[in-house]
Amino acid sequence: MKPILGAIGIVIAALLLATGVNWLIRARSETASIACVNNLRNIVASKQQWALEHHKASDTLPTWADILPYMGAGTAGQMPHCPDGGVYTIGRLNENPKCSIGGPSHALPETK
């Protein structure tokens, strides 16, 4: 009887461990997606502020050097990085920035 209880205990422990690992992976992925979308929002805000201060047309293509001072770290600021390794493309003022990973978890919703 004791060997059966021991085996059941091992199976239960393995199931709990597998569930916990799966939860941690999913939580980390969701956190990275949220951080990526927040970076994209910060890029949009920085582009808008730069455009207002420099009287730029909506089809102007800013550079990282143009918008970094508006990203909260001054001229010494660093480019934002996607936590999942994606690369950001700024885009024109009238376009949303993009993450190279794409998909709904690494993109801003399109507005019309």
pLDDT tens track for 28-48:
567 888 899 999 999 999 999
DSSP string, 31-58: HHHHHHHHHHHHHHHHHHHHHHHHT--T
Question: Is 37 a member of any domain?
Answer: yes
Residue 62 is part of which domain span?
2-106
The domain total for the chain is 1
Percent above pLDDT 90 for the chain: 46
Instruction: Compute the half-sphere exposure of residue 16: CA atoms within 13 Å on the CB side of its CA.
Output: 6
Question: Is 111 a member of any domain?
Answer: no
Question: Is 89 a member of any domain?
Answer: yes
Question: Is 38 a member of any domain?
Answer: yes
Q: Which one-letter amino acid corresponds to residue 4? A: I
Can you give the pTM of this predicted structure?
Answer: 0.71
Q: What is the mean predicted confidence (pLDDT) over 2-27?
A: 62
Question: Is 67 a member of any domain?
Answer: yes
